[in-house]
């Protein structure tokens, strides 16, 4: 019954079936999920933004470390800056002039033979210290002794003839007084006596010459010094001329000299001190510029300036008791010209350098700092002599300046200005100081 009332068997509430050839109905699009690359890019951007914020916050509170002059190093840290303070002192400061010098022997003698002959004996040891008059070598004296003996014999012969001639002259003088002898014969005899007297004198001169030649066979040291390396061995024939090297060289080492040079503009200051009657001390320093070899005094200033270099040569004398100075050695010579009485002195690290010159950080009473220009006379052995800009008793910054600017507040890290300078400097970042020491 139901089928008859509803042909096709469809219920009234049901949706009729879609024919087979009808087009399919499209469903609504589903939302797409974000890709992996987009997620990674988002995370990277957020991370960079976070790092940028941290960096900006840090650099707003940190001072500029490089390329800043005093007063332009940034706003400074939030709290006081720890520094090493020091006190400006007052003391006598020696003023030195430094030059490069060469050690020279006070005297150098090349021992040469003055007569020809065979070397019988070498009486020294190479490197030996000798005194004036000490035997160095002996040349065969036999030929010279024989020549001396001949001269002595010749003088004795002429002396005998002179004696006979004088007796004859005395006899002739009596005969001449009695008018028995002619005046001519007397004069002839008198001339013979004079001739023989001259011959005796010549013989004496020959004897003296032979003695000198004989003495030359004994070679002695002319001065106190040290023997070098010998050039002739025992048994060789040496000559008075032709032996260019000689026998040996004797060098006087005590005292000893140092010849050094200084710029010509220092000459007037040195001359003023010498004209006032002051002896100028000179210190010989080893090439490491730390070890003191000896102390002496200025001996002479050269009589002319070297126009090629614009320098003046000076010579100083040293006692050299310990033989620390040796001929040919290069040393640093330090000439003390004067002493600055009551000079203003600070540690060398106090002085900073900037575009406008040297300056120093001065601590005020409220522990703030002031940038003050200074004039530096010299820096010597870790101390700076100040001409102007600082006063004795003021507090200055010895170390820790790289974080400071004018007006910054500080916190003393040490009361000893030399307690931690090297350690503090080693902790500085590279390029962190606006003014180097």
> How large is the average pLDDT for residues 258-271?
95
For the chain, give every residue range classified as CATH 2.40.420.20: 81-88+351-426
In terms of Cβ atoms closer than 10 Å to its own Cβ (0-12, 13-18, 19+), residue 370 is middle
Residue of higher predicted confidence among 81 and 144: 144
One-letter-per-residue 3-state SS of the chain: CHHHHCHHHCCCCCCCCCCCCCCCCCCCCCCCCCCHHHHHHHHHHHHHHHHHHHHHHHHHHCCCCCCCCCCCCCCCCCCCEEEEEEECEEEEEEEEEEEEEEEEEEEEEEECCCCCEEEEEECCCCCCEECCCCEEEEECCHHHHHHHHHHHHHHHHHHHHHHHHHHHHHHHHHHHHCCCCCHHHHHHHHHHHHHHHHHHHHHHHHHHHHHHHHHCCEEECCCCEEECCCCCCCCCEECCCCCCCCCEEEEEEEEEEEEEEEEHHHHHHHHHHHHCCCCCEEEEECCCCCCEEEEEEEEEEEEEEECCCCEEEEEEEECCCCCCCCCCCEEEEEEEEEEEEEEEEEEHHHCEEECCEEEEEEECCCCEEEEEECEEEEEECCEEEEEECCCCCCEEEEECHHHCCCCCEEEECCCCCCCCHHHHHHCCCCCCCCCCC
Q: Are 136 and 130 in contact (CB under 8 A)?
A: yes
141-216: CATH architecture: Orthogonal Bundle (1.10)
CA atoms within 13 A on the CB side of 136: 35
Q: What is the CATH number of domain 81-88+351-426?
A: 2.40.420.20
Give the C-alpha separation, 330 to 101, whole Å: 6
- Kindly tell me if the per-residue pLDDT of 53 is higher than 80: no
User: Which CA distances in Å does 397 have to 38, 86, 353, 388, 412?
Assistant: 56, 6, 14, 17, 9
Query: Of the spans 22-36, 115-129, 376-390, 407-421, which averages the highest pLDDT?
Result: 115-129
For the chain, give every residue range classified as CATH 1.10.287.470: 141-216
pLDDT in tens, 105-162: 999 999 999 999 999 999 999 999 999 999 999 999 999 999 999 999 999 999 999 9
pLDDT in tens, 196-226: 999 999 999 999 999 999 999 999 999 999 9
Rg of the chain over all Cα atoms, to the nearest angstrom: 52
- Kindly tell me if the per-residue pLDDT of 65 is higher than 80: no
Q: What is the mean pLDDT of the chain?
A: 83
Residue of higher predicted confidence among 36 and 373: 373
- Kindly tell me if the per-residue pLDDT of 75 is higher than 60: no
- Kindly tell me if the per-residue pLDDT of 366 is higher than 70: yes
For the chain, give every residue range classified as CATH 2.40.30.170: 97-105+251-340
Q: Among all chains, which residue has been given the structure tokens 């028995």?
A: 180
Residue of higher predicted confidence among 33 and 350: 350
Q: What is the per-residue pLDDT for 37?
A: 74
Give the C-alpha separation, 336 to 283, whole Å: 8
Q: Among all chains, which residue has been given the structure tokens 């219920």?
A: 11
* Pair of tokens at residue 294: 């000896």
Q: Which residues contact 231 (CB under 8 A, 6 or more apart)?
A: 245, 246, 247, 248
Query: Of the spans 205-209, 239-243, 364-368, which averages the highest pLDDT?
Result: 205-209
Q: Which residues contact 102 (CB under 8 A, 6 or more apart)?
A: 258, 259, 260, 328, 329, 330, 331
Q: Domain 97-105+251-340 classified CATH 2.40.30.170? A: yes
In percent, how much of the chain has pLDDT > 90? 62
For 93-122, b/e burial (b = at least 16 CB within 10 A) is bebbbebebebbbbbebebbbebbbebeeb
In terms of Cβ atoms closer than 10 Å to its own Cβ (0-12, 13-18, 19+), residue 89 is middle
95 beta partners:
338
Whole-model pTM: value is 0.63
């Amino acid at each position: 019954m139901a089928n008859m009332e509803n042909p096709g068997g469809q219920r009234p509430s049901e949706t009729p079936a879609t024919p087979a050839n009808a087009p399919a109905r499209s469903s609504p699009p589903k939302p797409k999920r974000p890709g992996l690359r987009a997620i990674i890019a988002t995370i990277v951007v957020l991370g960079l933004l976070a790092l940028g914020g941290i960096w900006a916050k840090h650099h707003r509170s940190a001072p500029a470390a490089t390329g800043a002059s005093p007063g332009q190093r940034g706003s400074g840290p939030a709290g006081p800056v720890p520094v090493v303070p020091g006190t400006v002192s007052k003391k006598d400061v020696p003023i030195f002039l430094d030059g490069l010098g060469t050690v020279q022997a006070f005297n150098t003698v090349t021992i040469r033979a003055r007569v020809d002959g065979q070397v019988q004996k070498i009486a020294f040891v190479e490197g030996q210290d000798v005194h004036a008059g000490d035997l160095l070598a002996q040349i065969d004296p036999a030929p010279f002794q024989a020549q001396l003996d001949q001269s002595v014999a010749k003088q004795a012969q002429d002396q005998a003839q002179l004696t006979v001639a004088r007796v004859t002259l005395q006899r002739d003088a009596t005969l001449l007084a009695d008018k028995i002898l002619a005046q001519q014969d007397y004069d002839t005899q008198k001339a013979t006596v004079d001739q023989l007297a001259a011959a005796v004198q010549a013989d004496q001169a020959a004897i003296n010459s032979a003695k000198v030649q004989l003495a030359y066979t004994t070679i002695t040291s002319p001065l106190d010094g040290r023997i070098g390396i010998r050039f002739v061995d025992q048994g060789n024939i040496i000559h008075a001329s032709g032996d260019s090297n000689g026998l040996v060289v004797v060098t006087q080492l005590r005292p000893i000299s140092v010849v050094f040079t200084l710029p010509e503009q220092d000459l007037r200051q040195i001359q003023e001190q010498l004209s006032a009657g002051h002896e100028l001390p000179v210190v010989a320093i080893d090439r490491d510029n730390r070890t003191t070899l000896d102390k002496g005094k200025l001996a002479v200033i050269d009589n002319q300036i070297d126009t090629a270099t614009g320098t003046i040569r000076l010579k100083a004398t040293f006692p050299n008791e310990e033989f620390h100075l040796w001929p040919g050695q290069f040393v640093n010579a330090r000439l003390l010209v004067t002493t600055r009485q009551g000079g203003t002195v600070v540690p060398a690290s106090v002085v900073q350098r900037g575009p406008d010159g040297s300056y120093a950080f001065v601590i005020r009473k409220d522990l703030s700092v002031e940038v003050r220009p200074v004039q530096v006379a010299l820096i010597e052995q870790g101390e700076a002599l100040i001409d102007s800009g600082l006063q004795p008793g003021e507090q200055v910054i010895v170390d820790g300046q790289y974080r400071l600017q004018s007006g910054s507040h500080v916190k003393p890290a040490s009361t000893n200005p030399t307690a931690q300078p090297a350690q503090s400097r080693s902790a500085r970042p590279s390029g962190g100081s606006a003014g180097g020491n």
